[in-house]
Structure 1
Amino acid sequence: MFAMLLIAAIVPPEPSDVHAIELARATAPYVSYTRDGRAFAEFAPTVETRNVSCKLHHEAIFDCTYDVRTKDFLGSDFTAWLPKAARITFRDNCWQIVSSE
């Protein structure tokens, strides 16, 4: 019974989780903070991801491959799709990149 619960707890990141990671990575240089410490990005780029595939690497660490493209805040066109690979784990109540390949 315990083994089944453990296996059920190890679920790979969803495509929306990978999108959120890429969005955070792309907007990081644009982040400013309010006086009370809240983060915001006023002129952040738009990010799209597709073809997300994640496989278990070790324990709760997943190797994910996907395509990503961005569009600048005032841009009219997206950049070309770029293939990416990242090792992702669930830590501190959110999905985080362990390392990129």
Structure 2
Amino acid sequence: MYLVHAHFELVPPHEVPGVLRELARSSLLPSDRVEHLSVHPRSPHAFTLGFYSTAGSLAEAESGATAVCRRLLAEARWLPPARLTRVGVPLIAPALLGDWPSRL
């Protein structure tokens, strides 16, 4: 499973809808291969969608998340005017991993 973050910015004065998580989840299709979707508001005008993808590779997970985001921007009438600024796997600083590699 892969975690892919998609970052959005809304066109002011529009703000992140309070029901974003429910509406975004209801827009997913089985072919999207998304096991779970999380929403992280970053400000009143920006948010991140976290896709937990069951894709077969990192590249497939990122391209799948990008496709879902483009579909949301094109078809989701409930989403205020927004732009997709970045899609990718979040990086973890090596210092935060502790002794994780030695436990393998």
Decide: shared fold, TM above 0.5: no
TM-score by length of 1: 0.34
Higher helix fraction: Structure 1 or Structure 2? 2
Higher strand fraction: Structure 1 or Structure 2? 1
TM-score by length of 2: 0.34
